[in-house]
């Protein structure tokens, strides 16, 4: 081969581009293996190590595609429409994943709930024990267990539910809940004495929490458009066909 032919081959734009592609691929693979080996030695959990390795692999693929796009940028103009259609198809196929990531952003910055809060999300009531990029993890409360106790089941709910269903937070801005106890009193009894006794018991049991509840309620009234409601224990009376029903609200 003549010297002029060798020189023309070396300076051929197509050959130089493919050489650049090979160099970029080798460099990305070397960096990926170094990162996997360096970080993998410091991760003892097998599951986390697997996820990190998969993450580095996906990142390396993305870097290779980026390098191809940069190297052949002058020849990709005709593929713009194809890339646009492919991107739209991918976005449609991954719409739930994208919505979950958007839900994670909303949860992080809008304070829908935080770890430790008790919430009802997607029809499931429980305590928030973890908030991931795609899912929120709850320790379930209720179902076959009464008294708002943990059932023992861990439930993972897609973060996209914050856009679809109401989010009930039991411990955010007002860390107290109202509850009621119904007490039937037979006709002919001293219902006035029963009412006073009921009120006294509620005051004794709830008196210690009253200052904290009042402070939390005042903050909620300042933050939201709330009317200043009565927060002290209250006993109401309803006479029905069978008895006098006293309802203690506290």
pLDDT tens digits along 152-197: 888 999 888 888 888 888 887 777 888 888 888 888 888 888 888 8
Whether pLDDT at 51 is above 70: no
- In order, the DSSP letters of 34-52 are HHHHHHHTT---HHHHHHH
What average pLDDT does the chain have? 78
Contacts made by residues 70-75, CB under 8 angstroms, sequence distance 24+ = 71/17, 71/20, 71/21, 71/24, 72/17
| 163-180: b (≥16 Cβ within 10 Å) or e | eeeebebbbbebeeeeee
Q: What is the pLDDT of residue 89?
A: 64
**pTM greater than 0.95 (yes/no):** no
Q: What is the pLDDT of residue 138?
A: 92
Using CA atoms, how far apart are residues 202 and 180, in angstroms rounded to an integer?
11
Other Cβ atoms closer than 10 A to 3: 7
Whether pLDDT at 116 is above 80: yes
Find the mean pLDDT for residues 16-29: 78
Q: Where are the alpha helices (DSSP H) in 44-125?
A: 46-71, 80-93, 95-110
Contacts of 35 (CB under 8 A, 6+ apart): 56
Q: Do the beta carbons of residue 124 and residue 168 sit within 8 Å? A: no
Least confident segment among 63-77, 99-113, 191-205, 215-229? 63-77
Joined tokens for residue 135: 């899912």
Find the mean pLDDT for residues 6-17: 60
Q: How confident is the model at residue 83 (pLDDT cuts 50, 70, 90)?
A: low
Joined tokens for residue 61: 């693929």
Highest mean pLDDT among 9-18, 45-54, 95-104 belongs to 95-104
More confident residue, 43 or 136: 136
Whether pLDDT at 31 is above 80: yes
Contacts of 156 (CB under 8 A, 6+ apart): 135, 136, 137, 138
Name the strands in the sheet holding 150-158, side by side, starting at the edge strand that comes first in the sequence: 150-158, 135-141, 124-131, 118-121, 168-169
Find the mean pLDDT for residues 109-129: 86
Q: Cα–Cα distances in Å, from 120 out to 117, 149, 150?
A: 10, 14, 13
Q: What is the pLDDT of residue 124?
A: 87
More confident residue, 207 or 136: 136
Q: What is the pLDDT of residue 93?
A: 62
Whether pLDDT at 102 is above 60: yes
Q: How confident is the model at residue 86 (pLDDT cuts 50, 70, 90)?
A: low
Q: What is the pLDDT of residue 82?
A: 54
């Amino acid at each position: 081969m003549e010297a002029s032919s060798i020189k023309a081959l070396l300076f051929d734009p197509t050959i130089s581009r493919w050489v650049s592609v090979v160099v970029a691929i080798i460099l990305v693979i070397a960096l990926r293996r170094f990162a996997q080996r360096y970080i993998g030695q410091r991760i003892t959990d097998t599951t986390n190590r697997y996820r990190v390795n998969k993450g580095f692999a996906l990142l390396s693929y993305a870097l290779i595609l980026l390098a191809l796009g940069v190297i052949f940028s002058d020849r990709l103009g005709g593929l713009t429409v194809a890339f646009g259609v492919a991107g739209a198809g991918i976005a449609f196929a991954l719409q739930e994943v994208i919505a979950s990531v958007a839900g994670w952003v909303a949860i992080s910055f809008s304070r829908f709930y935080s770890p430790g809060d008790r919430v009802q999300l997607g029809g499931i009531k429980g305590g928030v024990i973890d908030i991931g990029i795609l899912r929120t993890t709850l320790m379930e409360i209720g179902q076959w267990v009464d008294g708002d106790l943990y059932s023992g089941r861990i439930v993972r709910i897609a973060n996209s539910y914050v856009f679809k269903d109401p989010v009930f937070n039991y411990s955010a801005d007002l860390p107290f809940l109202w509850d009621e106890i119904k007490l039937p009193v037979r006709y002919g009894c001293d219902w006035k004495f029963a009412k006073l006794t009921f009120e006294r018991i509620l005051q004794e049991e709830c008196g210690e929490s009253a200052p904290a509840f009042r402070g939390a309620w005042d903050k909620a009234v300042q933050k939201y458009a709330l009317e200043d409601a009565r927060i002290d224990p209250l006993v109401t009376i309803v006479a029905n066909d069978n008895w006098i029903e006293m309802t203690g609200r506290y």
